[in-house]
Structure 1
Amino acid sequence: MSQRRTEPAAPTRRRGAALESAILDAAWEVLVEQGYHGLTFETVAARAGTSKPVLYRRWPQRDDLLLATLARHWRPLDLPDTGSLRQDALALLRTVNAERARTLILMRIQLADYLRETGTTFNHLRSRVLPVDQPPPFATLVDRAVERGELADVPRSDRVVNLPFDLVRHDMLMRMDGVPDETIVEIVDAVWLPLLGLSQAER
């Protein structure tokens, strides 16, 4: 008795959101491996198993594809809400250190060609990727502390409010690695909270 040979099922044709997700995931892989120089429509289409016209219909320019790729993979972090500004700041910086250090360092390297070609900055690029109406994380933490009465409601510069993230990011890029936990604690306790006007007894 002859046995029937089972034919492999035909691959499911991807459409809509499924296809777009596959393309952006492929673009992210190419960006991580080859940098902006390697992020071409041809390379991404081949990696995603689709055609260049499919990409062009969604993202007419390479810049459009890059921004869409970064927006998909640079999702905003969940903000802690412990009821204490100090604990919120420490928790947020520890999350950034654990979850974003490698990506941040990698992107600064892999996007060097893009930044050089366009004359833009990493901060400007990040502002184009993140939601327009979303305040910086540390601005939200400070606003919550003011609402709780933990901080006085006085004007504060963006430089002071966002200083913890700027300092941690600087140390990451200098070390090309995450930062020690004692550095995070020092930034919050010895630098940021005193600048905000919180004494040690008030923390």
Structure 2
Amino acid sequence: MPERRRGAALEQALLDAAWDELTAGGYTRFTMDAVVKRAGTSPPVLYRRWSDREDLVRATLVHVLRKNVLKVPDTGSLREDVLTLMREINATRVQLVTVMSVYLASYHLETGTSPAELLDPADTDRKQAVDAIFDRAVARGEAESERLTDRIKALPFDLLRQEILTTYAPAPDRVLEEIVDTIFLPLLR
């Protein structure tokens, strides 16, 4: 007889099952019943935690993003920090980027939300991690804080996401360098 899961272990198993279900068929095919089956539990166990599939999807994404937090590089240069982080995203996050953007399109249509409204970056500590790179660059004199708007800080990562979504594959390193050297860094000068 399998060991009964409780508390955090049970919640992690449920969220892992929900992620597996989401990546298997997208939001359109995502059901609470399918998550229950995949997790090997009962409906009341799931519904006690999340009242509907929208709540479960949001909780699943926060869980996955928190579980997959990237180490913030500290190479001593803004260029290398941004490139290092982009290379890590490129090497390890293509599936995550694809699921977040493509598989959730029906979620956005059904709920009337945009991708930006789905998650608060503070929920996953992503904003603080990226801000650390830019705070160090300002301290080293590589950038002026006034030029580092949220949009400018997000730009290289937004362009990488666009590249991944255009090809459903990691971007070549020359593309990452082009994004940083010919688009991003000139905006800071």
Fold match (TM-score > 0.5)? yes
In structure 2, give the amino acid aligned to 1:120. Answer: T
Q: Secondary structure at the match of 2:48?
A: helix
**Kept after mapping to 1: 8 A contact 2:87/2:173:** yes
* C-alpha deviation, 1:142, in angstroms: 1.6
- CA distance in structure 2 between the partners assigned to 1:139 and 1:17 by the alignment: 30
| Richer in helix (by share) | 2
Q: How many angstroms apart in 2 are the aligned matches of 1:65 and 1:72?
A: 10
Question: For residues 62 and 182 of structure 1, what CA distance do their matches in structure 2 show?
Answer: 40
Cα distance, 1:38 vs. partner? Answer: 2.2
Deviates more, 1:118-127 or 1:134-143: 134-143
**Partners in 2 of 1:61 and 1:186 — Cα distance?**
43
Task: Give the TM-score taking structure 1 as reference length.
Answer: 0.84
Distance 1:132 1:169 in 2: 18
The answer to whether the 8 Å contact 2:72/2:130 transfers is: no
**Which amino acid counterpart does residue 175 of structure 2 have in structure 1?**
T
Conserved in 1, the CA contact under 8 Å of 2:19 and 2:60?
yes
What's the counterpart of residue 13 of structure 2? Answer: 22
The one-letter amino acid paired with 2:42 is S
Deviations 1:41-76 (A, max 9, x none): 211111111110111111112211111111111133
Superposed, 1:111-190 pairs within 5 Å as 111-127=104-120, 130-131=122-123, 135=127, 137-190=129-182
Q: Secondary structure at the match of 1:162?
A: helix
* Residue 99 (structure 1) shift: 0.9
Runs of 4+ in 1 over 4 A off after TM superposition: none
Tell me what 2:95 maps to.
Answer: 102
Q: Which moved more, 1:152-161 or 1:59-68?
A: 152-161
Q: Measured at CA, do residues 160 and 153 of structure 1 come closer, stay the same or move farther in structure 2, by a change above 3 Å?
A: closer
In 2, distance between residues paired with 1:165 and 1:136?
A: 15
Matched, 1:33 2:28: no
Look up the match of 2:37: 46
Residue 149 (structure 1) shift: 2.2
> What is the CA-CA distance between 1:130 and the residue it aligns to?
4.8
**Inter-partner Cα distance in structure 1 for 2:107 and 2:80:** 37
Q: Residue 200 of structure 1 aligns with which residue?
A: none
Give structure 1 stretches of 5+ with no counterpart: 1-9, 198-203
Between the two proteins, what is the percent identity of the paired residues? 48
Counterpart in 2 of 1:69?
60
72-81 vs 91-100, which moves further: 72-81
Distance 1:138 1:58 in 2: 31
- Aligned CA-pair RMSD: 1.9
Deviations 1:179-200 (Å, cap 9, x if unpaired)?
1100000111111111111xxx
Give the superposition deviation at 1:134.
5.3
Number of aligned positions between the proteins: 187
Partner amino acid, structure 2, of 1:107: M
Counterpart residue number, 1:5? none
Alpha-carbon distance change, 26 to 170 in structure 1, aligned in 2, over 3 angstroms: same
| In structure 2, C-alpha distance between the alignment counterparts of 1:97 and 1:12, rounded to whole Å | 38
CA-CA distance at 1:35 after TM superposition: 1.2
CA–CA separation in structure 2 for the residues paired with 1:82 and 1:188: 15
Alignment of 1:188-203 (within 5 A): 188-197=180-189
